[in-house]
Amino acid sequence: MKRTETPLIPRPEGLYCPEGDFHIDPVRPVARALITHGHADHARAGHGAVLATRQTLDIMALRYGADFAGAWQVAEGVTVIGGVRAQFHPAGHVLGSAQIALHTRGGRITVTGDYTRSPNPACAPWEPVPCDILVTEATFALPVFRHPDPTTEIARLLASLKAFPERAHLVGAYALGKAQRVIMLLREAGYDAPIYIHGALQKLCDYHIAEGVALGDLRPATVARGKKGDFAGAIVLAPPSAFAATWAQRFPDPVICFASGWMMVRARARQRGVELPLVISDHVDWPQLTQTITELDPAETWVTHGREEAILRWCALEGRAARPLRLVGYEDEPE
């Protein structure tokens, strides 16, 4: 690898590539942005021009309206920006999510965005992209995070439904990705009753269906006043923010469930008043993260956001070069 200059620089507005004069997942409006996926903290409105996968562009338009950016382009094959060759590869995280591979004068760089190596039927699986510099997320980068098989978590939800048939099961799940993941896992487990969804999930569920992701019978979780009994024994999905609102009070003695990788840690579940924590993650856990670094064997590993101290330590123990980028503005739990 020839290193004439630093190919990527962390800046307050996001990760900047001087050679191509663009940012990746910037948190403030910039002239040119490459965007890995549609989560609100990675994909923001107001950029001059956006390069992303077709599905990520669609999701941004759904979220922010058709004028979410000055101009946009679908990432297909190799795009040359300045002197930099950029190519998008699947990340397995959510529908449309991608890793971005850059060929710069400073070497081959893979920016993972958010990613997981666990199978996710909503999108193409993560694939290894060889590189000199791996720029990875570290959301769950602590050795305590070994996420279980999500089918066992769904089995616990179905068991609870059986044990408390008079109670509604309210499942907190983020609108993009996690909600559809939970629905698909339920369908795979043979649950074919209607699933009720909060209004905030409607657009993105419709979009998944339009993209060929089968979700079965979905119905709006609207209820007429005084008809609490309607949702007894039903599964209702809502974004976690809905639980703080009076919205949740309309259901009969609800079992509050939350689908998130954080649910491994008891205090996290208790802080949210969760009665049934479901450990379902769309990020790499510790074994997957360390496996990825080992397999790609990059000359350097850079860490974007999350719990960077632990993975830096692991790299040091393994004799691998690594550095934190300390990017700010990314949420642990995007809504």
Partner 1 sequence: MISAFAHLLERLAFSPQRNAKRAHLAGYFRARPDPERGLALAALTGDLDLRAVTASLLKGLVAERVDAELFALSYDFVGDLAETIALIWPGEGTAREVALADLVAELQETRKADLPARIAARLDQMDPSERYAYLKLATGGLRVGVSARLARQAVADLSGLDLAEIEEIWHGLSPPYSELFAWAEGGAKPVSAARAPFRPVMLATLMDREGLRALAPGEFLAEWKWDGIRVQAVAESGTCRLYSRTGDDISAAFPDVIAAMEFEGAVDGELLVRRGAEVAPFNDLQTRLGRKAVSRKLLDSHPAALRLYDVLIWNGKDQRARPLAERRAVLERFVELLDPNRVDISPLLPFEDWDALAALRADPPEAVIEGVMIKHRASPYLGGRIKGHWFKWKRDPMLVDAVLLYAQRGHGKRSGYYSDFTFGMWDGDQLVPVGKAYFGFTDAELRDLDRFVRNNTVERFGPVRAVAPTRVVEVAFEGLNRSTRHKSGVAMRFPRISRLRDDKPAAEADHLSALLALLPDG
- By CB under 8 A, name the binding residues for partner 1: 142-146, 244, 262, 264-277, 307, 309-310, 313-314, 317, 328-329, 331
Q: Give least dist CB 244 to partner 1, A.
A: 6
25 is a site residue for Zn ion (CB under 5 A): no
Distance, CA of 34 to chain centre: 16
Nearer to Zn ion, 114 or 132 (CB): 114
Single-letter code of the amino acid located at 240 = P
Is residue 1 classed as helix, strand or coil in its secondary structure?
coil
Please give the order of strands across the beta sheet that includes 22-24: 9-11, 14-17, 22-24, 32-34, 47-52, 69-74
What is the token pair recorded at 274? 């969760």
CA 135 – CA 140 distance, rounded (Å): 15
Choose the contact partner of 317 out of partner 1, Zn ion, none; CB within 5 to 8 A by kind. partner 1
Closest approach of Zn ion to the CB of residue 165, in Å: 35
CB of 247 to partner 1, least distance (A): 15
- Which lies closer to partner 1 via its Cβ, residue 96 or residue 306? 306
Cβ proximity to Zn ion, 59 vs 256, nearer residue: 59
For the chain, the first-to-last Cα distance in angstroms comes to 39
Which does residue 114 bind out of Zn ion, partner 1, none, counting CB within 5 to 8 angstroms by kind?
Zn ion
Site for Zn ion in 314-333 (CB under 5 A): 330
Segment holding 51, helix H or strand E: strand 47-52
Q: Which of 16, 34, 35, 39 binds Zn ion (CB under 5 A)?
A: 39
CB of 175 or CB of 183, closer to Zn ion = 175
Residue 61 is inside which H or E element, if any? helix 54-64
296 binds, among partner 1, Zn ion, none (CB under 5 to 8 A by kind): none
For the bound state, the minimum distance from the C-beta of residue 112 to partner 1, rounded and expressed in Å, comes to 20
How many Cβ atoms are within 10 Å of 194's Cβ, its own excluded?
Answer: 11
CB nearer to Zn ion: pick between 230 and 333 = 333
Count Cα neighbours of 195 within 13 Å in the Cβ-side half-sphere. Answer: 27
Site size with Zn ion, rule: CB under 5 A: 3
What is the distance between the alpha carbons of residues 188 and 208, in angstroms, rounded to a whole number?
A: 16
CB of 304 to Zn ion, least distance (A): 8
CB 5, CB 21: distance < 8 Å: no
From the list 114, 285, 300, 308, which residue makes contact with Zn ion (rule: CB under 5 A)?
114
**Residue 66, C-beta contacts closer than 8 angstroms, at least 6 positions apart:** none
Residue 283 near Zn ion by CB under 5 A: no
**Residue 247 interaction partner, one of Zn ion, partner 1, none, beta carbon < 5-8 Å per kind:** none
Nearer to partner 1 among residue 14 and residue 106 (C-beta): 14
To Zn ion, the closest distance from the beta carbon of 203 in angstroms equals 18
- Which phi and psi (to 5°) does residue 265 adopt? -100, 120
Cα–Cα distance between 224 and 58 in angstroms, integer? Answer: 33
Q: Please provide the DSSP assignment of 113-163 as one string.
A: -S---S--TTSPPP-----SEEEEEETT-STT--PPPHHHHHHHHHHHHHH
CB of 53 to partner 1, least distance (A): 28
Binding footprint of Zn ion on the chain (CB under 5 A): 39, 114, 330
